[in-house]
Each structure stands twice: as C-alpha cells, then as structure tokens.
A and B are shown apart, each in its own frame.
Chain A
Amino acid sequence: MGEGPNWDYPINGGQEIADAGSAGLPFSPVAPENLGPPLRILVTPDDVPVGSAEIVWVYDHPEFGRLLLIEHLTDAAPTQAQYEQLAAQEPGCETSSPSADDVAQLGEGAGPKIVCYGGTHYFTELRPTEQAFVTHGDVTTAVHWLLPLKASDADALGAGFKDPAIEVVIMGPADQLSESQAITAAKSV
C-alpha cells in the first residue's frame, strides 16, 4: 500500500515558483482566482515526461484547511472511462467460494476469494454545463474535472496524447476535508 501525499510539498523534487505564469509547463495552467493566497506554488522539474508535468497550489484555507489544487495533462477518454468505472462500484466486499480451478491452481484448501471496493465515487454538477467527479476514501477527499486545452498547447503536444485536456483536482486529507467542502471549494475556483 502507498502513503498519502506530502501535504506541504506534494511534488517530489518540485520547484517553487512565484506565479503560474512562470510555470514553464507544456500546457497553460489556469490560475485559481477565489481561493485566496496559496502557501506556495510548485511545479514538476523540467525533466519529467510530459504526461507527468503538473502544477500544484498549496493552501491553508480558512474554511477548508489544507487543500491542494492540482492541474496536469490527461487524455480525456481514458480518464472519463476510469471515473465512470469507479462511479459504478458499490463499496463493500464480495466473497466467492473457491472454484475447482482455484483448488487446482492455488492448492488443496484454497480459501474463498474476497474482493472489496473502497471509498465513495460519484459525479456531481460543478457548474451548469460542467460535471465533476468526487472521490472520498481512507486517505484523501478529491474533486476532479476536465478543462479544454488551448489549441496551441494541444498542437505542441504532438502524438503523445489522443484527446488532451487539463485535469483539475481539488484534494485534501480525508479526515479533514468533507466531500461537500471539497465540492464547495471546487465551485469557488
């Protein structure tokens, strides 16, 4: 299992910058306007692959507490497909008795297979024409949504992306940031 993010410096080896305009990323970040002054703004080092390029605004927000606003490139179709798959999952565990194949492959006395689905995942309306995807689990609460990429940025990316978009993520610690707070924060961006 993994750990949660470093809530102070979430990008490993990230570089601190003064404003989004100096990010030097392969996409034009959209600076949040209504979350107040961030503690810091971090970008990924120059040598990361384009698909891992990211900017993060780190906040200590008076209402929401510690909050990360993340922007990075993604391919819209697989990301949307992943959202939909997670939204279709019912949290809980399914136990299936060992099959004859299980006994043959795992050994005499193979136990039941327990498959579990954790966390809550659903879509919500962020703005009238904009859907967002909410996740809440054992470590983080997050709201994701996609923004169109500037045409000039998309052209410059080349063949590595099929339908590139900017994925925006609001993320906070699961034990401090509720889903409704995260949605409110996302709406205020």
Chain B
Amino acid sequence: MAAASMTLFTTSVHAGTCQQDDREQYFVRAATNSGGTPTRQGTLSWILMANRDLDTGCSASVPPGQGCTHGFTGAATLSTAHTNPGLVSTTDQGKQVEIGWLEVWHDADTSSQAQSRKDWYIFTEKEVDFNCTQWSTQLAPNLDPNTQDIWKISAVNGSSGTTDWHLSVNFIIQQGYVDIETYNTDWNAGVPLGETERFGGGTGMSDDQTNLQWKTSTGTWVDWQDNKCWQHVDMTAGEWDYVRASGHAFDIEHQSAGSC
C-alpha cells in the first residue's frame, strides 16, 4: 500500500479496507417529455473532469486494458457517455458502446522509482452479449481536472447494413473534436445514457454531466428532453445519489437527498 506521504495528490486520496467488489455504478437514461425511452443516432455529454478521491486501500495498480473494467482490482473511477440499442429486451441490454474518462491509482514502483500517482485516461468500450469485446485506454494530459470536456457518440451507416459508432472528445481547451475510436455494430439507434462508476469503498464518484444532447435521424443535435436514473448497481454502503439537475443535466452527489 502506498503511504500518503509518497503520493502526488495527498489531499484527495483515502486509504480504507478494500473489498474487491466495493463498486458502485449509476446509469442515467435520456427520457422524452412523456417519460419514454428514446433511441437516437447519438449522444453527447459535457462531463466535468473531476479530481476524485481514490481509495488506496485498494492499492493494487489498475493496469489499463485488462478486461474493460471487469478486471479492475484497484482504485478507479470513471464517467462516460454511453448508448445501448434498448433497455428492455435481453438482446438489446447486452450491447453497448461508451466513451469517457477514467481515473486510476498507481502504487509507487521501487524498481522504476515511479512515485504513486493518479492518471487520467480516455476510455472506450464495446460490449456484445454483455461481454466486453473491445476496449481502449490512452493517457491524455489534456484531461484537465476541473474542466468540462465534451464526449460524443455518433452513428454513421456502415457497410452491409451495419452501423459505425464514432467516439470522440472535444477538450474545451482545444475547441475541436478528436476522433478516438470507431465501433462497428449491427444496431443503428441507441438509448442515450450517462454512466458513473467507482471502485473502492473510499473512492469518489462525484459527477456533473450537463448539456446532454442526442442526435436525431436528420443529424441534428438537440437537448435531451428529460433524464431518469435507470440503474444503480451498489456493492458498497450506498453513499452516492443521483440528482436530476434539469431535463438535460444530472449530478451524482455524496449523501444527498437524491435516489435512483
């Protein structure tokens, strides 16, 4: 376990007794004015790039790219834009693509004399049959804590009737989209979602997703009409809550009066 004095971010790291399954996750879905679940050709979210607490009790370094996040054993936290073809049928629920940022704790490494530290990565993922079939990570210094970046997923017709989902990010400091990944699928419209997840009992998941928009069939980006908490996976003491900030914005807050 890394000593607090060795960390680069001593004010935002909490040591605890880690259980591997100390994991909490929120999915927030787009809703129509009548509360329905829309499927659209894309989704985007302005997500606050937070410097969240990480629980160094879960001190095993999390090697990015070890089985989406299913293989994570250390402290990590993430926020993403996300889309599934549907939330009702088994088949639809098992497919998804997402992009966002991932904050990871690394222990000190005496062999390389690396100090313990946090790193922020761009993270993408594709699932089929509920299985992680493809994912990517890349360390991105432009992920600047306390700024908002725009994460976009946009559908384009592919070959053989398939659909290419283009995943990109617009760092506010650069003012332009950067293509990160393209995932080819057999579904052509998805439910716009936002996702927040944390690993480690003392790890935080404070989230602020605003200016949520979906892409219409004519290619126009418009505000989500509303949003609703879709799913709360909680293997911890359940200290975090969903709060609807507006029709096209939501927060995840610590011990607020919200709920899923």
Contacts and interface: CB of A to CB of B under 8 A. Distances in A.
Interface of A: 1-5, 10-14, 44-45, 48-49, 52-54, 56, 68, 70, 72, 74-75, 77-82, 85-86, 89, 93, 98, 102, 105-119, 121, 135-140, 142, 162, 167, 169, 171, 174
B130 interface: yes
A118 B92 contact: no
B89 A52 contact: yes
A114 B130 contact: no
Contacts of A4: 130
A44 B91 CA distance: 11
Nearest to B72: A1
Interface of B is mostly: mixed
A171 B133 contact: no
Given A12-B87, A139-B70, A107 B140 contact: yes
Given A1-B70, A89-B133, A135-B128, A140 B94 contact: yes
A80 B160 CA distance: 9
Contact of B178 (A3, A70, A105, A140): A105
A171 B95 CA distance: 14
Contact of B129 (A44, A77, A137): A137
Interface stretch (B7-15, B45-53, B61-69, B215-223): B61-69
Interface in B104-151: 119, 121-122, 125, 127-143
A140 B88 contact: no
Given A5-B90, A75-B186, A106 B68 contact: no
Contact of B130 (A5, A49, A86, A117): A5
A139 B131 contact: yes
Interface string B16-48: 000000000100000000000001000000000
Contacts of A118: 67-68, 131-135
B65 A116 contact: yes
A75 B188 CA distance: 11
B246 interface: no
B87 A82 contact: no
A48 B36 CA distance: 11
A85 B134 CA distance: 12
A111 B184 CA distance: 25
B140 A81 contact: no
Nearest to B233: A3
